[in-house]
Structure 1
Amino acid sequence: MSKSSAKFKNAKDKRQKVVDAQGWTHVVRGPKLGHAHSRLVTGLDGLSISPLPDTIDLRNILSRYDKIWTSSPACEKLLTFLEEEVIPAAEVAIRKCICLGLGSLSDGRESSRFQFVTLSSILRLLNQESRVDQVIFQDPAFTRSDMEYLETQGHTVVASPAAFDLVDPNTFLFAPHLEHEYYAKAVEKHLPAITIGSDVDALLEGTCIPSDHQVGDFDTRKILQRFRAETKCYPMPKFEQDPWYLFTSLYWRSHPADGS
């Protein structure tokens, strides 16, 4: 590899954290923000990411990701465990799915796309057991293309922080890599029937997350401790094609929902 090629590769691989006006942190690939990074636009509301291009065919793109995921041992292992162990233990009909912090599907991030097809495969399984009437997405990073695609699939996109108040005991919460304060906000009022999210033990121990994400607020810690005490846990199976499964776990209630 030439020096110039190596220099370009290193610049391309750099990641930056950008916090928008609503407090969400986005990891941005690429060199310094500026004119060279044409897909990034900074406005009064912070960072917005425009699709590349506006006419991107998400249906075909995600279909390819879905084939990779559904043919993987990780998918088979996860769905089998859900069907045999988790869904029967939940002892409730799951009527709602809420997805938080997925990231943009149209800006080329493979992890977001693999997360989405993972979610889709789980929804197909859940719909065999009961009807999931609402599938709700919330992420300030969504582009116009993302929102249009999700809506064509019959899903609902809401602005932050609306989705946090929609979680109830009949909810499947899908929130991989969600930061601790938002995670706690999502599970504060109700314990979802099933959750796929950041490893709560790692968040509480503060050993597997950056130092600036340490759990320091007492209420946040208390909420996450209660969540962990009331759930059973299963680490997400290893997925060879993408590392998004790292520090992510599947949780389900260790006791029936109140009133069930």
Structure 2
Amino acid sequence: MSLTAEEHSSEPQEAWVKVHGRKGRRSRKIPTPIGSVSCKVVVGPPSLSLEQVKQDYGRFSTQWESSSSHGQLQDLLSSHTNDTSSVVTKAICFGLGTFDPPDGAWEQKRKTHVQLAAFLAIVEHFQSKASHQIRCVFQEPILNSVDKAFVESLGHEVVESPIGFQLVDPETLAFGVHLYRDIYSQVIATHIPAIFVGTSYEIWEDAHGAENLDWARMKELDRLCIKAKFPENQADTTFSSTVIHWRQKDES
């Protein structure tokens, strides 16, 4: 029997939108999340076994780890080793998506596995430099029972909304690719995390225009962080318009 929940969906979604850049910028098309969308989340029965999901992850993560995106990400993280103002004690992944899409969509499944591999690669980078265990948490309303079992088999936690939002603090790595604007708002509502991986204020402004983007908290994140574009593989939109933010100053 399907489970339903009245929830703001954190499933990554993209819509191709033509935007007119600010003065001095050329018009361009960028994939931008659909903002402030509320919907009923329906979680259907899994069609894949736990073993099948593990096999898919092994294949897709291995492909990504041999790509230029992975190598460039490692170099980027190493170059910013001393750029955070806080030690990362927990990592929270928001809106990863399902490993078992209802229509079996190969590309959607691939992106979910690749985003997981990238998230865990970032966590492993910080873990290698930490004297403590970094807690890994996942919040995604559309995970089915096998999805959850897979995440837990990796030694990580799955929580229901809004627990993930409430766990964010100044020592958090917050990771969310192509999420709705209201999900980002909730991620950074209380604290600016040490690391934030997601859509930047500049990209939102390009997509919507500054006059339509009254978003003080995102402006604060932008002000407190140095930023770098997330490395992408050619012709792959998995991390399009995604930026890594390193917080530089303590919150006032």
- Structure-2-length-normalised TM-score: 0.77
Counterpart of 1:155 in structure 2 is: 156
- Stretch of structure 1 that moved more, 110-119 or 50-59: 50-59
**In the TM superposition, what is the alpha-carbon distance from 1:258 to its structure 2 partner?**
5.0
- Secondary structure of the 2:228 match is strand
1:228 counterpart = 2:222: yes
**In the TM superposition, what is the alpha-carbon distance from 1:147 to its structure 2 partner?**
0.3
**In the TM superposition, what is the alpha-carbon distance from 1:133 to its structure 2 partner?**
2.8
Counterpart of 2:127 in structure 1 is: 127
**In the TM superposition, what is the alpha-carbon distance from 1:116 to its structure 2 partner?**
0.5
Quote the Cα distance in structure 2 between the aligned partners of 1:54 and 1:152: 13
Tell me if the contact between 2:8 and 2:183 (Cα under 8 Å) persists in the aligned partners: no
Structure 1 residues 149, 254: closer, same or farther in 2, change over 3 A?
same
Structure 1 residues 222, 27: closer, same or farther in 2, change over 3 A?
closer
CA offset digits 1:46-96 (Å, max 9, x no partner): 4224322345522221111111111111111111111222x3111422110
Counterpart of 1:190 in structure 2 is: 191
Q: How many residues align?
A: 217
CA radius of gyration, larger in: 1
Gaps spanning 5+ residues in structure 1: where?
1-19, 29-43, 209-213
Tell me if the contact between 2:94 and 2:139 (Cα under 8 Å) persists in the aligned partners: yes
Tell me if the contact between 2:10 and 2:183 (Cα under 8 Å) persists in the aligned partners: no
Gaps spanning 5+ residues in structure 2: where?
14-38
* Residue among 54, 59, 64 paired with 2:59: 64
Structure 1 residues 81, 25: closer, same or farther in 2, change over 3 A?
closer
Question: Which contiguous aligned blocks of 4+ residues in structure 1 show a shift greater than 6 angstroms?
Answer: none
1:242 counterpart = 2:243: no
CA RMSD of aligned residues (A): 2.7
Amino acid paired to 2:53: L
1:94-109 superposed matches below 5 A: 94-107=88-101, 108=106, 109=109
- Secondary structure of the 1:245 match is coil
Amino acid paired to 1:127: Q
Quote the Cα distance in structure 2 between the aligned partners of 1:134 and 1:241: 33
Tell me if the contact between 1:97 and 1:132 (Cα under 8 Å) persists in the aligned partners: no
* Residue among 73, 83, 88 paired with 1:89: 83
**In the TM superposition, what is the alpha-carbon distance from 1:240 to its structure 2 partner?**
3.1
Greater relative contact order: 1 or 2 (C-alpha under 8 angstroms, separation 6 or more)? 2
CA offset digits 1:106-159 (Å, max 9, x no partner): 334211111001111112211101134310000111011110011111111011
What is the percentage of aligned positions where both structures have the same residue? 21
